[in-house]
A = this chain, B = another copy of it.
Amino acid sequence: MSATRSLRLASRPTGRVRPENFEIREEPLPEPGDGEFRVKLEYVSLDPAMRGWLSAARSYVPPVEIGEVMRAFSCGTVEASNNPDFPVGQAVAGRFGVRHHAISDGTGVLKVDTNLAPLPRWVGGLGMPGWTAYFGLLEVGRPKEGETVVVSAASGAVGSLVGQIAKLKGCRVVGIAGGPRKCAYVTDELGFDACVDYKTGSLADDLRTACPDGIDVYFENVGGEILDIVLDQMNDFGRIPFCGMISAMNATEPQPGPYNFRKILTSRLTVRGFIVFDFADRIPEALDALGRWHGEGRLKMREDIREGGLEAFADTLNELYSGGNNGKLVLAL
């Protein structure tokens, strides 16, 4: 084999991503230089933030440029190496992009142990989504024992861990998810105290029933109407780690902020945006805790692995915004 393939941005999407926004390019197989190694990638992580990376608007990271390989966390195995720290056969995860092979000098690359957890989990619950849950909940949300924590997108990669970590910290934990199957997963498998279905049309009432003492921490993944309903039920001095806004990711018109914005004032809430990269130097701490809890069977993780390779990237990514996934969405190469 002397060729490889990569997925590159061909045009900026308007609204939902379409397959024609990407081009699959056939390329010569790259050879590692001094101190470098080549990874054969096996799984690509699909994350809600990806839609933002495709917009030209200034954000916390520069946009993916036209012609560039689509940015992604992915994982695989070293298959050629001039770097003794990363020998052939070593499993690794990192920001390798959506491609079949990548060259790296090891910067920012995580060596992973597939005896502790299967490979795709290292771009899931033990990867960026896991670190996001860990720091967002504990450092930004700062839940105290006995408080009520609500998390939206509760069956998703980040939400499922936020709730489980909050349970480990002695909180009452209520998820918000779409449909009875996801809600059952959140309570029966993940052990949340309750999960309310935002699709029933009675979210406000259902949430109030599930949170009789109000809400102290709301881990925000979705925005839109759900945020407004939650804001209304926040307790004084509540905290809102603001992690994502799935509802607005594909919007083509400006979306208004919450109508209950003033509740931030009257209830003296703290809304704080964060991204996991702000905690980059503390990732070993997150990995240590997540790995330990996972090893003890106290953190359940589930991947939703899709086939179809590079060609399926756009359609698979869109499932994140319509809630079509069940667990951490991963594309197999």
Residues of B contacting A256 in the complex (Cβ-Cβ under 8 angstroms): 256-259, 261
- A contacts, CB < 8 Å to B: 52, 58-60, 223, 236, 242-245, 248, 254-275, 278
> Smallest CB-CB separation from A262: which chain B residue?
B245
Q: How far is the CA of A134 from the CA of B243 in the complex (A)?
A: 31
Q: How far is the CB of A265 from chain B (nearest CB, A)?
A: 4
- Within the complex, which residue of B248, B263, B267 is in contact with A262, where a contact is CB–CB below 8 Å? B248
Q: A259-B254, A259-B255 are in contact. Are A267 and B60 (CB under 8 A)?
A: yes
Q: What is the CB-to-nearest-CB distance from A284 to chain B, in angstroms, rounded to a whole number?
A: 21
Known: A248-B262, A259-B255, A261-B258. A270 touches B271 (CB 8 A): yes
Interface centre among A248, A263, A271 (most CB of B within 10 A): A271
CA distance A240 to B207 in the complex (A): 29
Shortest CB distance A280–B (Å): 13
Q: How far is the CB of A181 from chain B (nearest CB, A)?
A: 29
Query: Nearest 5 A-B pairs (CB), nearest first?
Result: A257-B257, A256-B256, A257-B261, A265-B273, A264-B273
Determine which residue in A256, A259, A260 has the highest number of CB atoms from chain B within 10 A of its CB, and name it.
A256
Q: Flag if A278 contacts B270 (CB, 8 Å).
A: no
Complex contacts, A278 vs chain B, CB 8 Å: 268
Q: Are A267 and B261 in contact (CB under 8 A)?
A: no
Q: Of B52, B254, B271, which one neighbours A271 at CB under 8 angstroms?
A: B271
- With most chain B CB atoms within 10 A of its CB, the pick from A236, A242, A243, A254 is A242
